[in-house]
Amino acid sequence: MNQFGMFAALRDIIRRDLLLALRRRSDVLTTVLFFILVGSLFPLGVGPEPAVLRTIAPGVLWVAALLSCLLSLGRLFTADYADGVLEQMLLIPQPLSLLVIGKVMAHWLISGLPVVLLSPLLGLQFGLTGEALGVLTLSLLLGTPTLSFIGAIGAALTLGVRGSSVLIALLVLPLFIPVLIFGAGAVSSSASGIGAGAHLSLLGAGLLLAFALAPWATATSLRIALE
Amino acid sequence: MLKADNVSCVRGERRLITALSFTVERGRLLAVTGANGSGKTSLLRMLCGLLPAEQGRILWDGEDVRACRERYLASLIYIGHLNSLKEDLTPVENVTISARLAGEAVSEEKTCEALEEVGLSRAIHRLPTRVLSQGQKRRVSLARLWVSQRLLWILDEPFAALDAASTGLLMQQLRAHLSHGGIVIAATHQEIDAGADRLDQLRLAG
């Protein structure tokens, strides 16, 4: 197998999806705005008590990140499926799992990375300390790509199904739970002085596991969807 | 040489193709005809490997395409009834990116030349594809044939939405491809003028 060809295909698919996102900025902005709004409304609703805000911050910010990821998952393969581009992807003389990795990486760059970058800013509203903000960012950096990889399986499984967005949520939310627990747990542990090392290690392991298995599962689901 | 060996296809409860065998040699065009729903698209998708055959084998130069998937796909270009275009990209971007993804090194200049050859002026090369008419979109999709070096072309209703001039251009391109030893398999309702010595017909009963 030509490794240069594989690398070129990966690069080209990421570049194409980023270009498409650039042309349809509203889709990207919806996800980011959702994260900002949820993260900003909670302190207003809960009240200005710093201790309460610091306690709820990890859970609220992680749930907001998780839901904003879920919001964008429906678009991962739907357009490619409808316009026939997905069919052409299956005919590219490269492993489909590799192309799935490209799609997922582009999805993360479009919807996950902005969330990671904005999280310290939102964390400040909750009165998180500098160290906790760093852990929050790092946990999201490890956790959001995992959410994208897991979500891709759900997006592929529900391709062409009516009401697929609800179905994706039902399929992937149970799989998101460990990521949510370890992600929010990392920030809570750091804030309470226990240290976030164990949680971050588990998030890293989860990312590696998702990277190894999800592209294969997604590719298989896509093949079935197109038959 | 492409050979279908005793292939059958079932869609849902319906058997579309039963024990079909044929061979397409280099320099020949196989026109697949038949009524709507007779299995033309299913046959083409099966030949591409998008649809598994219920039984039988597809052979490329004597080797089962499942065993030489990468080599087979690197020889194949498939244009389905969907145009496979991104509405937010320009015609140039659509053709160049899809060719590059398929592993063919195509420059934007070469794509522009191909688009001009299919009758799309430079003025619309940089417009979003969504503003083009159906016929123009089909021409953008077909422009991949002009930039491709692939040997085997599998085309599903390639003349759909094309005007007389574009149909003539495509016929010309098909003949040029055949004269260079290429293979074309096309599902069509239209008569193809590829020259009697190069044309085979396959009529599906459904």
ipTM score for this prediction = 0.90
B198 found inside a domain? yes
DSSP conformation letters of chain A: --HHHHHHHHHHHHHHHHHHHHHTHHHHHHHHHHHHHHHHHHHHHH-S-HHHHHHHHHHHHHHHHHHHHHHHHTHHHHHHHHHTHHHHHHTSSS-HHHHHHHHHHHHIIIIIHHHHHHHHHHHHHTT--HHHHHHHHHHHHHHHHHHHHHHHHHHHHTTT-TTHHHHHHHHHHHHHHHHHHHHHHHHHHHHTTS-SHHHHHHHHHHHHHHHHHHHHHHHHHHHHHH-
What residue of A is the nearest CA neighbor of B11?
A227
Distance of CA B85 to the CA centre of its chain: 15
Cβ distance of A91 and B76 shorter than 8 Å: yes
What residue of A is the nearest CA neighbor of B70?
A93
Which residue among A24, A89, A91 places its CB closest to the CB of B48?
A: A91
B180 found inside a domain? no
Spatial strand order of the sheet with B55-60 comes to B14-24, B2-11, B55-60, B63-64
The pLDDT > 90 percentage for chain A reads 83
Model confidence, pTM: 0.91
pLDDT of residue B37: 86
Which residue among B74, B83, B128 places its CB closest to the CB of A84?
A: B83
What digits encode the pLDDT tens for the residues B75-124?
999 999 899 999 999 999 999 999 999 988 899 999 999 999 999 988 88
The pLDDT > 70 percentage for chain B reads 99
pLDDT of residue A113: 96
B80 in contact with chain A, both atoms CB, cutoff 8 A: yes
Mutation target vs A (from B84, B108, B141; most A CBs, 10 A cutoff): B84
Cα–Cα dist B42/B48, whole Å: 10
CATH code, domain carrying B40: 3.40.50.300
What digits encode the pLDDT tens for the residues A144-201?
999 999 999 999 999 988 888 889 999 999 999 999 999 999 999 998 888 899 999 9
Burial of A174 per CB tally in 10 Å (0-12, 13-18, 19+): exposed
Cα–Cα dist B181/A174, whole Å: 55
The pLDDT > 90 percentage for chain B reads 70
Is residue A142 a contact partner of residue A62, using CB atoms and an 8 Å limit? no
Show the domain range for B24: 1-73+188-206
- Which residue stretches of chain A have pLDDT < 70? 1-4
**How many folded domains does chain B comprise?**
1
What residue of B is the nearest CA neighbor of A85?
B84
CB atoms within 10 A of CB A93: 19
B130 found inside a domain? no
A192 in contact with chain B, both atoms CB, cutoff 8 A: no
CA count, 13 A, side-chain hemisphere, B43: 35
Nearest to B170 by CA among B38, B10, B6, B29: B29
Instruction: Please give, rounded to a whole number of angstroms, the shortest distance from the CA of B134 to a CA of chain A.
Output: 13
Which residue among A5, A83, A227 places its CB closest to the CB of B82?
A: A83
**Which residues in chain A have Cβ-Cβ distances shorter than 8 Å to B101?**
9, 12-13, 16, 88-89, 92
Instruction: Please give, rounded to a whole number of angstroms, the shortest distance from the CA of B144 to a CA of chain A.
Output: 12
Between chain A and chain B, how many beta carbons pairs sit less than 8 Å apart?
A: 77
State how far the alpha carbon of A162 is from the alpha carbons of A159, A168, B9, B152, in Å. Answer: 9, 11, 26, 36
> Which residues are registered as beta bridge partners of B58?
B4
pLDDT of residue A23: 93
Mutation target vs A (from B101, B156, B157; most A CBs, 10 A cutoff): B101
What residue of A is the nearest CA neighbor of B93?
A16
pLDDT of residue A1: 52
Residue B206 reports pLDDT greater than 70 = no
Cα–Cα dist B74/B134, whole Å: 29
pLDDT of residue B105: 86
**Which residues in chain B have Cβ-Cβ distances shorter than 8 Å to A85?**
84-86, 98
- In chain A, where the domains are located: 3-226
What residue of A is the nearest CA neighbor of B128?
A23
Cα–Cα dist A10/A14, whole Å: 6
A227 in contact with chain B, both atoms CB, cutoff 8 A: yes
Which residue among A13, A24, A226 places its CB closest to the CB of B101?
A: A13
**Which residues in chain B have Cβ-Cβ distances shorter than 8 Å to A20?**
86, 88-89
B27 found inside a domain? yes
pLDDT of residue B16: 87
